[in-house]
Amino acid sequence: MHLGDIAHVRAGDKGDISQISVIAYDPADYPLLARAVTCERIVGHFAQLPVSVIQRYELPALGALNFVLHGALHGGVTRSIALDLHGKTLSAQLLDLEIDPATPCGVAP
């Protein structure tokens, strides 16, 4: 299963920081999100990006996780020569993250 099967995303960017919120369609899926979508998995998924710091904020009342990726935009939207590194493109790519609801950590073996 992919993250996009159980959640949607919202994103924003400011300077060199991309912020991605992952929101469960069904609040009952939030515990799976909390187990499976970790900072380590996000960094691994975006291994090609020069992320210097990643922060995760848990919002269980909203069924959401918010990730702040410092350094993810190669110097910032207006300074980068790379195409399509804006926050909304990264968030769409994140929906392809594989998760496994059958494992205790939510990660496919």
Task: Please give the pLDDT value at position 86.
Answer: 56
pTM of the full predicted structure? 0.80
Residues 54-79 as b/e (b if ≥16 CB within 10 A, e otherwise) read: beeeeeeeebbbbbbbeebbeeebee
Question: What is the spatial distance between Cα 47 and Cα 89, in angstroms, rounded to a whole number?
Answer: 15
16-63 pLDDT, tens digit each: 888 899 999 999 999 999 999 999 999 998 888 888 899 999 999 999
Q: Are 54 and 67 spatial neighbours (Cβ–Cβ below 8 Å)? A: yes
- 42 vs 95, which has greater pLDDT? 42
The DSSP call for residue 4 is G
Domains plus CATH for the chain? 3-94 (3.30.1360)
The mean pLDDT value for 70-91 works out to 63
- 44 vs 90, which has greater pLDDT? 44
Q: Are 33 and 27 spatial neighbours (Cβ–Cβ below 8 Å)? A: no
